Amino acid sequence: MDKVQTKILNCIMCPMGCELTATMEDGVVTSVKGNSCPRGEKYAKDELTNPMRMLTSTVRIEGAALHLLPVVSKSTLPKGKILECAEALREIKAKAPVKVGDVIAPNILGLGVDIVASRDMAAV
Amino acid sequence: MNKIYDIIIIGGGPGGLSAAKSAAENGAKHILVLERDREVGGILQQCVHNGFGLHHFKEELTGPGYAQKCYDLVKDMDEVEISVDTMVLNIENKSDDKKIVTCVSPRNGLQKIEGRTVILTMGCRERTRGAIRIPGYRPAGVYTAGAAQRMVNMEGYLPGHKIVILGSGDIGLIMARRMSLEGCKVEAVLEICPFSNGLTRNIVQCLNDYDIPLYLSHTIVGIKGRDRVEGITVSNVDDSMRPIAGTEFDIECDTVLLSVGLIPENELSRELGVAIHPRTNGPVVDQHRETSIDGVFAAGNVVHVHDLVDFVSDEAEIAGKFAAIKATGNAKKATLDINVNAGDGINTCVPQHIRLTSGEDESVRLFMRAKSPQRKVTLHIKDGDGEVMKKPLAIVKPSEMIAVDIPAAKVKNIKSDITVSIEGAK
Same CATH topology for B128-260 and B332-426: the answer is no
Burial of B145 (0-12, 13-18, 19+ CB in 10 A): buried
**What is the CB neighbour count within 10 angstroms for residue B416?**
11
Q: Is B235 helix (H, G, I), strand (E, B) or coil?
A: strand
B152 neighbors B159 (Cβ within 8 angstroms): yes
Contacts of B54 in chain A (CB under 8 A): 14-15
Q: Give one DSSP letter per residue of A33-60, joined into a string.
A: ES-SSHHHHHHHHHHHHS-EE--EEEEE
Residues with pLDDT less than 50, chain B: none
Instruction: Measure in Å the smallest separation between the Cα of A85 and chain B Cα atoms.
Output: 9
User: Closest partner residue to B50 among A10, A54, A67, by Cβ?
Assistant: A54
Inter-chain contact A17–B201, Cβ cutoff 8 Å?
A: yes
- Name the residue ranges covered by the structural domains of chain A: 4-50, 56-117
Helix (H) or strand (E) holding B373: none
B17 neighbors B299 (Cβ within 8 angstroms): no
Nearby residues of B304 by Cβ (< 8 Å), 6 or more positions away: B264, B280, B281, B282, B348, B350, B367
Rounded distance between C-alpha atoms, residue B316 and residue B298, angstroms: 8
**What is the CB neighbour count within 10 angstroms for residue B171?**
27
A34 neighbors A25 (Cβ within 8 angstroms): no
Chain B residue with the nearest C-alpha to that of A65: B38
- Minimal CA–CA distance to B99: which of B38, B205, B10? B10
Superfamily of domain B128-260: FAD/NAD(P)-binding domain (3.50.50.60)
**Chain A residues within 8 A (CB-CB) of chain B?**
9-15, 17, 19, 53-58, 60, 65-68, 70-72, 79, 82-83, 86-87, 90, 100, 118-120
For B1-125+262-331, which CATH class?
alpha beta
Q: Give one DSSP letter per residue of B5-74, joined into a string.
A: EEEEEE--SHHHHHHHHHHHHTT---EEEE-SSSSSSGGGGG--SEEESTTTTSS-EEHHHHHHHHHHHH
∠B41-B44-B46 over CA atoms, to 5°? Answer: 115
Q: What is the pLDDT of residue B247?
A: 97
B150 neighbors A54 (Cβ within 8 angstroms): no
Rounded distance between C-alpha atoms, residue B49 and residue B175, angstroms: 10
**A23-45: burial string, b at 16+ Cβ within 10 Å, e else:** ebeeeebeebebbeeebbbebbb
Q: Give one DSSP letter per residue of B81-143, joined into a string.
A: EEE-S-EEEEEEEEETTEEEEEEEETTTEEEEEEEEEEEE---EEE--HHHHT--B---BTEE
Q: Is the pTM of this model over 0.95?
A: no
B96 neighbors B294 (Cβ within 8 angstroms): yes
Pick the CATH number of B332-426 from 3.40.50, 2.60.40, 1.20.1630, 3.30.70: 2.60.40
Tens digit of pLDDT at every position of chain A (124 positions): 457 889 888 888 776 678 899 999 888 899 999 998 899 999 999 899 989 999 999 999 999 999 999 999 999 999 999 999 999 999 999 999 999 999 999 999 999 999 999 999 999 9
Rounded distance between C-alpha atoms, residue B300 and residue B63, angstroms: 16
Instruction: Measure in Å the smallest separation between the Cα of A29 and chain B Cα atoms.
Output: 20
B195 neighbors B397 (Cβ within 8 angstroms): yes
User: Closest partner residue to A12 among B63, B201, B308, by Cβ?
Assistant: B201
Q: What is the pLDDT of residue A1?
A: 47
Q: What is the pLDDT of residue B199?
A: 81
Instruction: Measure in Å the smallest separation between the Cα of B141 and chain A Cα atoms.
Output: 22
Contacts of A121 in chain B (CB under 8 A): none
- Name the residue ranges covered by the structural domains of chain B: 1-125+262-331, 128-260, 332-426
Rounded distance between C-alpha atoms, residue B203 and residue B413, angstroms: 42
For A56-117, which CATH class?
alpha beta
Q: What are phi and psi of B210, to 5 degrees?
A: -110, 15
Chain B residue with the nearest C-alpha to that of A36: B394
Give the N- to C-terminal CA distance of chain B in Å, as an integer. Answer: 65
- Minimal CA–CA distance to B315: which of B272, B275, B264? B264
Rounded distance between C-alpha atoms, residue B300 and residue B405, angstroms: 18
